[in-house]
Amino acid sequence: MDGPSLDTILLAARTLARAGQLDGSIDQYRAALAVDPANVEAHVFLTQALMKRGEAAAAARHGELAVAARPARPELHEHLGRAHAALVRSPAGEAALAAICAELPGAYTSLLHLTRLREARKDARATILAYTRAIKLAQLAGFWHAAASTPPWLREPVDRAHTVADAGRRVLFEAVLAPIHAKHGPDAMTRVEDCLAMYVGLKPLAIADARQRPSFLYFPGLPIAPVFDRAALPFADAYEAAAEAIRAEMRGVLEGGAGVEAFHGHVPEERRGMLTEGGEWDAYFFYRNGQRYADHHAACPVTSSTLAAIPLDHVRDHGPEVCYSIMRPAAHILPHRGITNTRAVLHLGLDIPEGCALDVKGIEILTWQAGRCFAFDDTYEHEAWNRSDTTRVVLLGDIWNPYLTEAERDAIAALVAEIGDFNRATEVRPRG
């Protein structure tokens, strides 16, 4: 037999609350949550009622759920604040806050207070990551951007969190560069230090060429080179000498079809239309996000050995991206930009029909030639098309910007890997 409806339970809870029967109303609101775990009325009531009974941990849990559901109601933040104030004074407060954060990963205020309690333990990295996550979660919800969006009772701890997170992030990034400083000397690291200072906001971002817009990391002091001179690619002759053998391996791959996938196969279907239109853009990867496709290297030994001889931008979990880039007839890669000018994108023409081009917008339209290579800086807006009725294939690979020194390559490889670790550790998603 079914139990009472949610409306019946809520009516009983309200009646008991009006009659001052605290325990009975708490029981009824808990019964309501058994039917509807997201019931906001129940969470709001229980936040206050459980505080009256001295159950700060349970009150804070319900307060977090109430705030998440109705973030624009300031009184809910106040109720939660009272519960947190009691918790941080309690010997059991840390354990209670840890339990709330484990159950509710988006509970940014609980995470803030938990991190405050743990900060004295001197685990600097854990503190920096936790404060950063708390700030990101709060700002995702519209809070802690400035004093006006921060409750008065939280302004001091939130300011502390910002200070620790911002300074700590710089310390973490500088630490991975210290061995490279020691190896190459400070003079070799001047541009790297400027790059990091701009990334963390110590210096304003000052891009030498306004046509460049890297979405992630800008490295200053490099020559302006939307398309690199061949003289900057000393490996080009040897690379091109292998083109015929690479083409033969590529054609074997396309005939079999195994391992060929959509270039942006990891992108949700609904977003792919923002990247391409018309025919398909496929790929046979040798590296992706720095991960080596060992079976593809084994299947294409000439391609693999040729790639090993060029300055690919090896960065743990990030680069390079190397593939046979396969544009089917009528494929159009829409205008877009790359993430950093520390790399160049190298193309070696393999099968090139008429009607194919890469347009570095407002600068130069590049046409592929079979057996020839070129490299460009993809932080400049660019698009590509295949307006023929046959497939166009190039060997595409990310190499280091040729104007970086060896020391700078080492530094960027270490720095970007650490930034990636940091970003993954502090990644947040919208609640719900």
CATH of the domain at 50: 1.25.40.10
Give the H or E element holding residue 285.
strand 281-288
Residue 241 lies in a domain: yes
Residue 181 lies in a domain: no
Domain coverage including residue 98: 6-167
Rounded to 5 degrees, φ, ψ at 335 are -55, 135
Same domain, 382 and 266: yes
- pLDDT tens by residue, 265-278: 776 665 656 788 99
- pLDDT tens by residue, 149-201: 999 999 999 999 999 999 999 999 999 999 999 999 999 999 999 999 999 99
Same domain, 141 and 69: yes
Same domain, 22 and 162: yes
Residue 306 lies in a domain: yes
Residue 40 lies in a domain: yes
Residue 102 lies in a domain: yes
Domain endpoint, select from 133, 167, 201? 167
- Predicted local confidence at residue 429, as pLDDT: 83
- Predicted local confidence at residue 295, as pLDDT: 98
Same domain, 42 and 122: yes
Rounded to 5 degrees, φ, ψ at 303 are -55, -45
How confident is the chain (432 residues) per 10-residue block, as mean pLDDT? 87 96 96 96 97 96 97 96 96 96 97 95 92 97 96 97 96 96 95 97 96 97 98 98 98 95 76 80 97 98 98 97 98 96 98 98 97 98 97 98 98 98 92 56
Same domain, 101 and 248: no
CATH number at residue 276: 2.60.120.330
Domain endpoint, select from 115, 148, 167? 167
| Cis amide leading into 320 (omega within 30) | yes
Same domain, 248 and 389: yes
- 322-327 and 276-278 beta bridge pairing: unpaired
Residue 197 lies in a domain: no
Number of domains in the chain: 2
Residue 51 lies in a domain: yes
Distance CA(309)–CA(26), nearest Å, equals 71
